[in-house]
Structure 1
Amino acid sequence: MDELVERLCAEGKNVVVGGPSPSAAELHRRITEMGYVFITFSDSRGGTNLGVRVDESATDLRSADFANATGIVHVEGTLTLNYVKVRCVADIDLSSLSGTGRLRVLDEALAE
C-alpha cells in the first residue's frame, strides 16, 4: 500500500478544515450545498490537503451549531489519494475548525 495512505489510516490523526477561507459558515455551505470539503492532515510532512466528496448519509451535523461556531461535525466522504480509493472520516470542532481524522482504504485488496 502507498506509504502516505498507510500513515493517514492510523487512528487519531490531527486534521483542520482547509480551503481558501475556512470558517464554520463556509464549512456548512460546503457540506450542505457543494458536497465537497477540504480536510488537511496537519501531522504529515508539510500537511496533506485533501478534497473530499461528502457522503451525506454518513455525515452528522446534529451536534453542530454553525451560527455560533460550536459543537462537533462528523464528516465522511470519499476520494482517491495516490491512486488508492479511500474514505475520509473526521470529527471537527467548530470552535477551532480542527479535530481528528483518518482514512480507510476502500479497495479490500490494497488494505492487506
Structure 2
Amino acid sequence: MDELLRRLSAEGQKTAAGGPSPSVEDLRRRVAEKGYVFIKFTDTAGGTDLGVRVDADACDLSGADFARGIGSAHIEGTLTLNLVKVRCVTDIELSSLTGTGHLVPVEEAVAAR
C-alpha cells in the first residue's frame, strides 16, 4: 500500500463534497440520480478529489434534508486509487458540505462483511 492510500485509510480524515461546483443540490443529484460523486480529502497537499461510484445500498440519506440543506449524508462507494480498488466511506454535513471519512481497500471491506 502506498503512502497516500495508507494516509487516507486512517479513520477520521477530513472530507468535503468535491467536484467542479460543490453544492447541496449537486451532491443530492449525484448521489440519487447519477450514482457518481466527487469526495475531496482536504488534508493532503492541495486536496485529493476522488470520483466515487456510489453504492446506493450502503448509503444512508435518511438524516439528510437536501431541500433545507441540513443534516448529514452517509455515502459509500468504490474507486481505484493508484491501482488499488478501494471503498470510500464518508459522512458529509450538508450545512457545510464537509465531514469525515476514510478509504478501505476492497479486500478488507469484503472480509469485514
Q: TM class, shorter-chain normalised?
A: over 0.9
Listed one character per residue, the Cα deviations across residues 83-109 of structure 1 (whole Å, up to 9, x for unaligned) are: 00000000000000000010001135x
**Counterpart position of 2:10:** 10
Q: How many equivalent pairs are there?
A: 108
Listed one character per residue, the Cα deviations across residues 15-55 of structure 1 (whole Å, up to 9, x for unaligned) are: 01011111111100000110000000000121111000000
Is 2:61 aligned against 1:61? yes
**Counterpart position of 2:81:** 81
Q: CA RMSD in A?
A: 0.7
Paired with 1:56 and 1:2, the residues of 2 have a C-alpha distance of 28
SS state of the match for residue 107, structure 1? helix
**Counterpart position of 2:93:** 93
TM-score (normalizing by structure 1):
0.94
Runs of 4+ in 1 over 3 A off after TM superposition: none
**Counterpart position of 2:111:** none
Paired with 2:19 and 2:105, the residues of 1 have a C-alpha distance of 24
Equivalent residues of 1:84, 1:107 under 8 A apart: no
Paired with 2:65 and 2:76, the residues of 1 have a C-alpha distance of 18
Listed one character per residue, the Cα deviations across residues 60-95 of structure 1 (whole Å, up to 9, x for unaligned) are: 000100011000000000000000000000000000
**Counterpart position of 2:38:** 38
Offset at residue 6 of structure 1 (A): 0.6
